[in-house]
Structure 1
Amino acid sequence: MSNFKTWSQKQDKILIDSSMSLGLEERNLDLNNKLWTAQALVEKPELIEDVHTEYFNAGSNLTVTNTYQASIKGYLDAGFDKVEAEQLINKAVQLAKNGRSKSKNNQEKWIAGAIGPYGAYLANGSEYTGDYNVSDEELKQFHTDRIKILIEAGCDVLILETIPNFAELKVLIKLLKYKDIPVIVGCSLSDYNHLADKTPIKQVQQLLEQADCVIAYGNNCTAPDIVSDSIKELVKNYPNHKDLIVFPNSGAQYDPKIKKWLNNGVSEIEFLELTKQWLALGAKYVGGCCCTSEAETKLIHDKLF
């Protein structure tokens, strides 16, 4: 049993960090390219490290590596060779570890290796629809190397982020079944009880409840206004559920053409009040995704932890 799994089982609530993309934008980095935040591993790694440091300083227990968009295939398409791509993914883990070492707070601090969906590689917004027709074998090839690198680089846990497609989720669970590392799953939803590709959430839950490698699941980068209903649905379907995680975006609208979010969504105080609801409804892991920042993390930590 991993140290993180053992620790997590003893906690009644766990704070994960907020958006890497907003953290980089607030440090004046332009993310309008196909690699999105993964380009920063090439151009501005020191900014990534600083984002991790400040999330830990804000009180988070768990920081997520900047590998959501960092895939071997994505880097190959951008002109890097395979060795360079592997080194960049490894670097992302080292930057998270460096951020942890430089942070000042004394709470428990862990590293989650982020695995984004195939839709993130496509960079066309399909991580919010699950609308991509690729074979299971292609999905397996896409994910295998990154999983191996993240584990070997020393992540404490893996986190599948914004997974919109049930076929892809099944491939990932099969790949991770015999790996000696715990897994957290964040699904992309179309509404409170359907995966983005319209698979009923109860069907998704059945897969995740039966997967021994999965220690927690829920949703991320969803609009905050459906999160409470999504938690109620998960609890209703499986009263003796595994730990639940929610880290929604701020409610802003994303434009995949310019790689930007078009409005600010809910305020920091509103996000705090919603987080309080989510914990009361049964979520154990809480945090934020796109358009949330260190401000939300610190507020949640100071008021609710």
Structure 2
Amino acid sequence: MSDLNTILTQQPFLLIDGGMGQELIRRGVSDKSALWSAQALIDDPSLVLDVHRDYVTAGADLLITNTYSTNGNRLREMELGDQVEPMNRMAGVLAQQAASEADRPVLVAGSLPPLNGSYRPEETLPYEEMVELYREMVGHLTPYVDLYLCETMSTADEGRAAAEAATESGKATWVSWTLRDDDSARLRSGERIIDAVQTLGDLPVEAMLFNCSFPEAMTAAMPALASLDERRGRHFGAYANGFTEIPEDWTLWDGVANLEARRDLDPAAYCQQAQRWYEAGARLIGGCCEVGPDHIAALAAWRESLKVAA
């Protein structure tokens, strides 16, 4: 178990950090690199540390490692296979350093991402191949993290494969699925939420979330997750993105230059969506791509208002 329950005895909800990749781009990292956020681990790791620190200052209780683009499948395809271990370990060290500098307990989650592209369920690898690739990441990250976050999972099997490798470490494990950007309450694969939850089987998953979809899609799906008997008392939550859309033919190999940020999702508007998640029972709340330190600070301020009201 992580220290999740301890934090939730002190706070109305655990505050997850915001997006890393798009925040790094705002700070000068190329938006054309297929490495996306991982490019900073090569060019200027201090930028990654600065982003982590800014999220701590904003009020985050949980930092996510900058390992979204450091899986072995991606790095080997880019002829960077010799960098799998050093890049993952560096990302772990940077998040751990920022957490250790905080004046309060801050957890570190090891990000286990999609292995063959985001939002592309048709591109997922065979199950056993996914498990082995996730085990590779877990082997490098475990010394630096408090828990694992299997994030942006587009299919039920993808979520289970990541969770299988993560739970083998003995660390707490959370699974987060990405949803279709509509009110269907379905994964990008078209699978129902209940199917994704049931596919986890008896794996000791501590929490379940949605991430990297429109906040409105998460608002529509939250009651479905909250009401599932199969949730078995696990905590749940969400951290949405702020993109205008994800083009049908887009892949991370193209870089992110053609992905645009919404203009109607400032910190106040994002908080309004998060309030709906909280009202549905979500106790794990944060942000993903295009949700930055200002958004997290606004969520922290709202959280303080909840404590005062109580």
Q: TM-score surpassing 0.5? A: yes
Task: Compute the displacement of 1:269 (Å).
Answer: 1.0
Task: Compute the displacement of 1:157 (Å).
Answer: 0.6
Task: Compute the displacement of 1:109 (Å).
Answer: 0.6
For the pair 1:161 / 2:160, whether they are aligned, the reply is no
Q: Which moved more, 1:184-193 or 1:57-66?
A: 184-193
Q: Which moved more, 1:24-33 or 1:295-304?
A: 24-33
1:213-256: CA deviations, max 9, x gaps?
x1110200010112122111112223754101200102422453
- Distance in 2 separating the partners of 1:179 and 1:141: 13
- Distance in 2 separating the partners of 1:195 and 1:154: 30
1:243 counterpart residue number: 235
2:207 alignment partner, SS class = strand
Task: Compute the displacement of 1:48 (Å).
Answer: 0.2
2:27 counterpart residue number: 27
Please tell me the residue identity of whatever aligns with 2:146: D
Alignment check: 8 A CA contact 1:209 1:241 kept: no
- Distance in 2 separating the partners of 1:119 and 1:8: 34
- Distance in 2 separating the partners of 1:78 and 1:35: 9
Please tell me the residue identity of whatever aligns with 1:131: E
Give every structure 1 segment of 4 or more consecutive aligned residues whose post-TM-superposition deviation is greater than 3 Å. Answer: 8-12, 207-210, 254-258
- Distance in 2 separating the partners of 1:14 and 1:45: 27
1:99 alignment partner, SS class = helix
Q: Structure 1 residue aligned with 2:222, among 211, 221, 231?
A: 231
1:90-144: CA deviations, max 9, x gaps?
00011112222444xx332111110101233xxxxxx223111532222123222
- Distance in 1 separating the partners of 2:167 and 2:160: 10
Please tell me the residue identity of whatever aligns with 2:161: V
Within a 5 Å distance, the mapping from 1:79-94 to structure 2 comes to 79-82=79-82, 84-94=83-93
Structure 1, unpaired ranges of 5+: 121-126
1:54-97: CA deviations, max 9, x gaps?
00000000010000111122222223343x32011000011112
For the pair 1:54 / 2:54, whether they are aligned, the reply is yes
2:114 counterpart residue number: 117
Task: Compute the displacement of 1:268 (Å).
Answer: 1.7
Task: Compute the displacement of 1:171 (Å).
Answer: 2.1
Please tell me the residue identity of whatever aligns with 2:61: N
Q: What is the aligned-residue identity percentage?
A: 22
Q: Structure 2 residue aligned with 1:195, among 187, 202, 217?
A: 187
Please tell me the residue identity of whatever aligns with 2:244: A
Alignment check: 8 A CA contact 2:34 2:255 kept: no
1:271-303: CA deviations, max 9, x gaps?
011111211111011011011100000011012
**Number of residue pairs matched?**
293
Please tell me the residue identity of whatever aligns with 2:237: I
Within a 5 Å distance, the mapping from 1:95-110 to structure 2 comes to 95-103=94-102, 106-110=103-107
2:261 counterpart residue number: 263
Task: Compute the displacement of 1:167 (Å).
Answer: 2.1
1:132 counterpart residue number: 123
- Distance in 2 separating the partners of 1:146 and 1:167: 18
- Distance in 2 separating the partners of 1:177 and 1:107: 27
For the pair 1:175 / 2:165, whether they are aligned, the reply is yes
Assess, with a 3 A threshold, how the Cα gap between structure 1 residues 241 and 280 changes in structure 2: closer, same or farther. Answer: same
RMSD: 2.0
1:156-205: CA deviations, max 9, x gaps?
01001100022222222333343310011110112542111111111112
Q: Which moved more, 1:29-38 or 1:94-103?
A: 94-103
Q: Which moved more, 1:55-64 or 1:184-193?
A: 184-193
- Distance in 2 separating the partners of 1:278 and 1:32: 34
1:143 counterpart residue number: 134
